[in-house]
Chains A and B, each alone.
Chain A
Amino acid sequence: MLYGLMAYFDSPEKLLKALRALKGAGYRRLEALTPNPVDGIEEVLGGDGRIPWIAFLLGVLGAGLGLFLQVYTTLDYPHNAGGKPLLGWPAFIPVTFELTILTITVGIFLVLLYLNGLPLADHPAVRAKEYVRVLLDEYGVFVFASDPRFDPERTRAELLALGAEVEEVRRD
């Protein structure tokens, strides 16, 4: 069964050009695979601006939890420490701060995994024989065979015209 076509480009500029052309031609189910972040990819594939907002909300949650924990436990077990006021808020700053950071850190890491669909057991593109090239120094586009516009011959011709080396990815 044909999974799709893997196209290798030797520069990020070619990759961006190819992605634009493919999107323009109506392809929807394709992925760009690159060894490092490519500048300008958001304009083509769409960016994800959610991360900072999620982090902010996690921070608010963490700060709330940190303060609540200290206020609640202090009221639950009132203890006169060196004549300080019972709810002496300046003393609560360090713990609130650390718990805020801890909540954001752990939370945003899990959110990243969730948004990226990781951990991922298998991906058709990884079956490409030359797949390691896109982790090394080349820029790949994987066009899924399930794309409505996909046609083995025509898609291959289009990719070749964009200056790619093309490999078919099949299940053996």
Chain B
Amino acid sequence: MAKEPHPDRDLIQGEWTEKSLVEKLLEPVEKPTPRPWRVVLAVGAALTLAWLYALFVTLTRGLGTWGINQPVAWGFDIVHFVWWIGIGHAGTLISAILVLMRQNWRDSLNRVTEAMTLFAVLAAATYPLIHMGRPQLFYWVMPYPTHMALWPQYKSPLSWDVLAIMTYLTISTLFLYLGLIPDLALLRERSQGWRRKLYGWLSLGWTGNAVHWQRYRAVYVLLAGLATPVVISVHSVVSMDFAYGIVPGWHLTVFPPFFAAGAIYSGFAMALTLIIPLRRWYRLEGVITERHLDWMAKVTLASGLGVAYIYLLEIFIAWYSAEPAEWAQQLWRMTGPYAPYYWAMMLINVVLLQTLWFPRFRHNLTWLFVFSILANVGMWLERFVIVVISLSRDFLPGNAQLYFPTWVDWTLFLGTLGFFLFGLALFIRIFPPIAVAEMVHLFHKLRH
């Protein structure tokens, strides 16, 4: 009897053997780089330098160089902190949840999205650090015995944040590294000179022992299982930084799932923004197929619908609670000086999102690419609405003041974008952007 073809057989398209597939997947590391890579690296490096300059200005001249004021004491820094953390989440979700669900399509995507997570979380982590005013004393937020006998206040979500972000950074780095080890061993055997040495050190002398593989799989799945609740917890904790406050606009009890949904949405959008050009520049159509992009678009749609639902719920609750300050805040968002930002957010995250219901839009890569960028803009606007617009008007009319970001604010933002691109470009040059060992394993599963 002929064997049934594997239901996921079209996840790897084209005529491959194990060898040619490996050659293809290692191309970004082993072959000369395509021109767009150099452009991205150069732009990233330039923006990173600008970022360093803005950091220098912030650290030497103080937070007065930012546009923050009273009452808007949280400005671009917290907007971007939340935005970057959210972007990081899709990476862990793709790798972790989809491992647990045994979804074969993750194998083409997990490495590059995990790297995305790493650099996004690093970019995010700089914001609270420099926002402290005296960043050289950052260790005061850690629990350590001092001569003043002071300890952090664990009833404050801000101190939960510290531990959540650090745990998240640690687990996503270890997860990425663990996944890299077999590929590093392969690269070690295929390279000479200093590269061989580098990969040799990093691969820790992995030999591919079958018993080691058993333990490795057990730990990998375990870390996936642990990373999943951490992802959810991190953004929930971030949302509680807000929900614990008394500011109107931060009252919604669904903040944790609201933020988690937004994180998945913006994370998948950013993953699409990165993967669509990567796929074209490195000619990876055979392994990152239309089906992969279609599924990513569907996840974007599902999480985006969660976000859209809560936007509408926010309006309803503000009206239904009959809380004057809350309702005034809602009207301020819709009709105040920031109204264009609010309505742009509604347009992207509620209206344009609906196009992803239709296969003809999902299969149109140009639209998908444009939409993925728009979705990130939309999520940026959402953070802006939550942080800045809520703070700019609370209970007292005297407390209403607008927020104007300065050039330092903007440079810090563009700088983290540059750092993100620069880091990713270097990453895919040194480490394979697609998990080679897993792809070969998948290939074997699908073809035999």
Contacts and interface: CB of A to CB of B under 8 A. Distances in A.
Interface in A127-167: 131-132, 134-137, 140
B214 A41 contact: yes
Contacts of A46: 211
B3 interface: no
B225 to A, nearest CB: 9
Nearest to A31: B209
Contacts of B151: 73-74, 76-77
Contacts, number: 178
Nearest to B148: A77
Nearest to A81: B155
A7 interface: no
Interface stretch (B111-119, B185-193, B317-325): B185-193
B226 A105 contact: yes
A43 to B, nearest CB: 11
A160 B444 CA distance: 24
Given A69-B143, A73-B143, A77-B151, 7 more contacts: A31-B207, A94-B160, A98-B233, A102-B163, A102-B170, A108-B219, A123-B207
Interface in A74-101: 74, 76-77, 79, 81-82, 84, 88, 91-92, 94-95, 97-99, 101
Contact of A99 (B159, B163, B441): B163
Contact of A118 (B143, B205, B213, B222): B205
Which 5 pairs of residues, A with B, have the shortest CB-CB distance? A120-B205, A137-B18, A73-B151, A32-B210, A36-B441
Interface residues of A, number: 63
B343 interface: no
A122 B154 contact: no
B277 interface: no
Contact of B237 (A32, A94, A102): A94
B208 A33 contact: yes
Nearest to B207: A123
B189 A37 contact: no
B311 interface: no
A140 B444 CA distance: 16
B217 A37 contact: yes
A138 B50 CA distance: 49
10 contacts: A34-B213, A48-B211, A51-B218, A69-B143, A73-B151, A101-B171, A101-B226, A105-B170, A118-B212, A123-B207
Contacts of B167: 98-99, 101-102, 105
Interface of B: 17-19, 22, 143, 149-157, 159-160, 163-164, 166-167, 170-171, 174, 178, 182, 185-186, 189-190, 204-219, 222-223, 226, 229-230, 233, 237, 240, 437-438, 440-441, 444, 448
A95 B150 CA distance: 18
B154 A41 contact: no
Contacts of A76: 149, 151
A73 B142 CA distance: 12
A109 B190 contact: no
Contacts of B163: 94-95, 98-99, 102
B233 A48 contact: no
Question: DSSP majority for the B interface?
Answer: helix
A113 B204 contact: yes
B446 to A, nearest CB: 13
Interface of A: 11-12, 31-38, 41-42, 45-48, 51-52, 55, 69-70, 73-74, 76-77, 79, 81-82, 84, 88, 91-92, 94-95, 97-99, 101-102, 104-106, 108-109, 112-113, 115-116, 118-123, 125-126, 131-132, 134-137, 140
Given A109-B178, A135-B182, A38 B153 contact: no
Nearest to B200: A121
A135 B164 CA distance: 37
A121 B154 CA distance: 44
Nearest to A103: B167
B19 A48 contact: no
Contact of B214 (A42, A102, A113): A42
Contacts of B230: 98, 101
Contacts of B440: 35-36, 136-137
A126 B440 CA distance: 21
A135 B189 contact: yes
B160 A38 contact: no
B170 A51 contact: no
Given A48-B215, A74-B151, A41 B210 contact: yes
B207 A126 contact: yes
A52 B438 CA distance: 22
Contacts of A120: 204-207
A12 to B, nearest CB: 8
Contacts of B182: 35-36, 135
A28 to B, nearest CB: 14
Nearest to B437: A36
A92 B143 CA distance: 14
B219 A81 contact: no
A124 to B, nearest CB: 10
Contacts of A121: 205
A136 B25 CA distance: 12
Contacts of A91: 154-155
Contacts of B164: 94, 98
A108 B222 contact: yes
Nearest to A45: B211
Given A35-B440, A77-B150, A109 B210 contact: no
Nearest to A112: B219
